[in-house]
Chains A and B, each alone.
Chain A
Amino acid sequence: MWDSLAALAQGFAVAVQPLNLVFAMVGVLLGTIVGVLPGIGPALTVALLLPITYKFDPAGSIIMFAGIYYGGMYGGSTTAILLNAPGESASLATALEGNKMAKAGRGGPALATAAIGSFVAGLIATLGIALLAPWLVEIAVNFGPEDYFALMVLAFVTVSATFGDSPRKGLVSLFVGLALGLVGLDKLSGQARLAFGVPELLDGIEVTTLAVGLFAVGEALYVASRRRHEPETLEAVRGSLWMTRQDWRRSWKPWLRGTAFGFPIGALPAGGAEIPTFLSYSTEKRLCKHKDEFGKGAIEGVAGPEAANNASAAGTLVPLLTLGLPTSATAAMLLAGFQQYNLNPGPLLFAEKPMLVWGLIASLFIANAMLLVLNLPLVGLWVRLLAIKRPWLYAGILIFAVTGTVAAKPSPVELAMLALFGLMGFVMRRQGYPIAPVVVGLILGPMAETHFRRAMQLNLGDATVFLQSPVSATLLALALIALVAPIALDGLRRFKSAED
């Protein structure tokens, strides 16, 4: 363990050389600029910009790479908060409260808590990698499909409890999302479902196309339809541009809890970044002392999911570095970064090339810090975006949404889908249906199905496996409690008040 810390310190010594800091800065800047396009998440940002890094020496290139990665991630949060256009599935939860805050003139604190929360999560998770990686990875590979399925069930239950005022409308939205999740080739049998002979639909519906369509395009249409009723411009800044003392007090716990969700789940080979952000969002909503603010812009709802998102990204480094398992699109891009130097991450990498591994971890951290240095002063500039007249602002959002979608998947079918989802978002908004559950359904549905069927296949059709595995049984029990407890408590309260 002390060896790891010493190696980490050496890694830092390399990363803080002045030229390397310049590389980090350039990377963060480039990453942020490309990452603000909705539809372009950090993995794609890195893919697009990776060739630039080939031109430098190994250390400089990896540091720039890390900068691009964090810049891309932060760019995604920025558009989620300011424009309500989550650039990737992991910043969906951020958009929910973040955009409400921005519209209430609190975009500054929302961006700040996202940046600082990411930094705090990055700091803790980097230490986590140094101290816990070998131990955590043992648990992670023993996580079977039945355990993943139980985790999804828990996520479904807790998330659906946070769907807003009407559970009926929330569930309708969720089921629309689950139905959309069925479109495409069935992963296990290779058979097409609901594709109607359109080859582009065989790959399923892209989460970002749905999210950008429902959130950004739908909102643009909605705002246009209500133009007469609303003022021409939004108030960009109301109160302080910075986080107030109260904002800090309300943010630090969600940062820590978000990290606690994100890091371990990110370390699971099929964990991903979505589930921890959803879990963090619903936990914060439940624990928040200002419950009435949720849905209107509660800072906890930005702080928690952003920390969870960043911590899970660090978590994916655990299986990548210790076992050579690239478990996310981003990790696969990191792998490509390693392969530039003919290095193949695997179980022997830590032993054979400790300097490079720790140098990478240190530079990820430096890049994260650089992000803070570079972007916090820019917060004031970003929020001015909202002071643009509405017709201009929303026209700009539409252009952003379309270019981002086309850049990610250049196809007319994709554009048609974006328009269709935009229309759907508009209708849902008018009728008071929440839109987030649709995206949640699209993300979690296929994951849950795949893991359920894998578990059944591996256990030759024996469904009792879900209760035999201790992890799965525990998670399912938690899900049951989460489902029953509110109803039971409610019943108890009524019973008591009837007694009185």
Chain B
Amino acid sequence: MSVIRKTFGMAGAVALAVALAAPAAAQLELRIMAPAGPGGGWDQTARAMQAAMVASGAAKSVQVFNVPGAGGTVGLAQLINAKGDGNQLMVNGLVMVGAIITNKAPVTLDKVTPIARLTGEYLAIVVPASSPIKDAKALAAAVKENPGKVTWAGGSAGGVDHIAAALFARAAGADAAKINYIAFSGGGEALAALLGAKVTAGISGYGEFEGQIKAGKLRLVGVTSPNRLAGVDAPTLKEQGLDLVIANWRSVMAGPDLPADKKAALLAAVEKMAKSPAWAELLKQKGWDDAYLSGDAFAAFLKEEQARVADILKSVGLAK
């Protein structure tokens, strides 16, 4: 009985707090699509946005729904049908840029309206603690000598990790088409392969490796950020002479043919959320870096990323 009362009591208090926090000005009733199953990065981003938008009063109500499938392109096809809809957003990111190309998706990002880039996560390159490779230079030398002999463990084929490994090979002066990249599903299996020293190197978001690096089981040889990361004791690849900067960014987009006033309203709502203390708190809690970039600046960034990803996927043979 006490449990039930407690649950209801809590729910009531939360509802009340939400109602008080939302000023009357916010009339937006938003639906945010996570084009993936519950629990993943896009779903978490959508749900974090939901919480922050309601708490900051950027929107009156927010509903999150999932449309999983094919690297998000099933959800993208649905968004393309939401022409001029000023109440719907979709979360996506670099992974979708790659998936559209590798899956030969019938839909592209050219039609939708980019709203803002929200978060980014730089990648880390690690080797097993027992490896003779001490830094990124040594790894680059090994890749240059024989790219096929260096085995990489990372996430799904054509994903951010794969793209970064190919870019690394290119920066090292090797043929990206010859890299020996092994796609693992889920972080656990790739980590197990690294801890068992079955592969030469691993590549993934820094957070994925953090515990193992601190425990001394993996050696961090470089990060793909432009500058050193706060609290991470490793040089960037750039410092080590490898011209490679890449982040796994996540963003939010709206449907095609959006009227100017509706676009302005969405831009304002997302901006209000991104600048709110509630969002800052969520970023900290989830370990995401703030990478807020909105409107035309984001659209220009998206174009550059599309070109870069298309080019590298072609060179590794994942796209024609």
Contacts and interface: CB of A to CB of B under 8 A. Distances in A.
A200 B70 CA distance: 6
A124 B159 CA distance: 41
21 contacts: A47-B39, A55-B11, A145-B198, A185-B70, A190-B156, A190-B183, A199-B70, A199-B74, A199-B77, A200-B69, A203-B69, A269-B188, A270-B189, A323-B192, A323-B195, A327-B189, A344-B211, A347-B217, A349-B211, A411-B68, A458-B182
A333 interface: yes
B210 A344 contact: yes
Contacts of B148: 460
A339 B249 CA distance: 22
Contacts of B103: 185, 192, 199, 202
Interface of B: 2-3, 6-7, 10-11, 37-39, 66-71, 73-74, 77, 102-106, 148-149, 151, 156-158, 162, 180, 182-183, 185-189, 191-192, 195-196, 198-199, 210-212, 214-215, 217, 285, 318
A217 to B, nearest CB: 22
A336 B157 contact: no
A346 B196 contact: no
Contacts of A428: none
Given A141-B195, A270-B192, A327-B192, A411 B69 contact: yes
Contacts of B6: 55-56
A325 B191 contact: yes
A14 B68 CA distance: 40
B157 A333 contact: no
A188 interface: yes
B180 to A, nearest CB: 6
Contacts of A344: 210-211
B192 A141 contact: yes
Across the A-B interface, give the 10 residue pairs with the lowest CB-CB distance, nearest first.
A346-B211, A190-B157, A269-B192, A347-B215, A202-B70, A190-B158, A325-B188, A141-B196, A327-B188, A199-B70
B211 A457 contact: no
Interface string A179-195: 00000011111111000
Contacts of A56: 6
Contact of B212 (A48, A188, A331, A347): A347
A297 interface: no
B39 A332 contact: yes
Contacts, number: 135
A185 B157 CA distance: 9
B77 A325 contact: no
Nearest to B76: A199
Given A333-B39, A409-B37, 13 more contacts: A52-B7, A56-B6, A141-B192, A186-B157, A187-B183, A190-B183, A327-B192, A332-B39, A332-B188, A349-B211, A460-B148, A460-B149, A460-B180
A319 B188 contact: yes
A454 interface: yes
Nearest to B200: A458
A22 interface: yes
Nearest to A453: B182
- The listed residue with most A CB atoms (<10 A of its CB), out of B39, B151, B162, B212, is B39
Contacts of B106: 199
Contact of A348 (B66, B67, B158, B211): B211
A380 interface: no
Nearest to A54: B10
Contact of B215 (A188, A191, A348): A348
A93 B105 CA distance: 38
B242 to A, nearest CB: 24
A188 B198 contact: no
Nearest to B68: A409
Nearest to B66: A410
A331 to B, nearest CB: 7
B210 A269 contact: no
Contacts of B198: 144-145, 458
A22 B4 CA distance: 11
B69 A202 contact: yes
B182 A346 contact: no
- The listed residue with most A CB atoms (<10 A of its CB), out of B37, B67, B69, is B69
A342 B37 CA distance: 23
Contacts of B157: 185-190
Contacts of B185: 187
- The listed residue with most A CB atoms (<10 A of its CB), out of B3, B187, B318, is B3
Contacts of B196: 141-144
Interface string A189-220: 11110000001101100000000000000000
Nearest to B73: A199
A458 B151 contact: yes
A426 interface: no
A211 B261 CA distance: 49
Contacts of A323: 191-192, 195, 212
Contacts of A19: 2
B189 A269 contact: yes
Interface string A307-350: 00000000000010001111100011100100000101111110
